[in-house]
Amino acid sequence: MQTRQLGNELDVYPVGLGCMGMSFVYGGQAEADAIATLRRAVEIGVNFFDTAEVYGPYENEILLGKALKPVRDQVTIATKFGFKILEEGNGVERMAGVDSRPEHVKAVAEASLKRLGTEVIDLYYQHRVDPNVPIEDTVGAMAELVREGKVRALGLSEASAATIRRAHAVHP
């Protein structure tokens, strides 16, 4: 099967599966149906799956972890971070802006690893650029996760070319 290379680390099938709608927005779907869909995707050659901590929040990463556990060695999992998720007293979570401070980046990576049930996140990327944190600081924290073996590759979503150049200077 023909693959495409993402950066220096990842080879993926040209068609990936964005999983947001399986448990978040668009009505979601029953867990058993979502798991069957994810496993069928692997059977037909899809090996790139995209999620984020904010989808649910958290529910989508948990779903992916469950569904892909038996085939973890065959798939590439991408997850995103960067939102401040507030948990209110009644268990309801809500977003309250962006947060890409280095300590937050590391804490949410640890939480994502647990929810995904994996020892490494294949592609860890910033969901939105945080205007209050220099990209060099954010990417510096992400690069530490790579050095620690918790993340294989880094990415940025919705970043300008200038921001990407600054980030690349910290960690290509």
Question: Which residues participate in catalysis according to the annotation?
Answer: 55
Map 54-82 to HEC letters: CCCCCHHHHHHHHHHHHHHHHCEEEEEEC
Residue 121: name the closest of 157, 149, 140 by CA.
149
Strands 17-18 and 83-87: unpaired
Relative orientation angle of helices 161-170 and 135-147, to the nearest 10 degrees: 40
Which tokens is 85 given? 């998720």
Q: How far is CA 6 from the centre of its chain?
A: 15
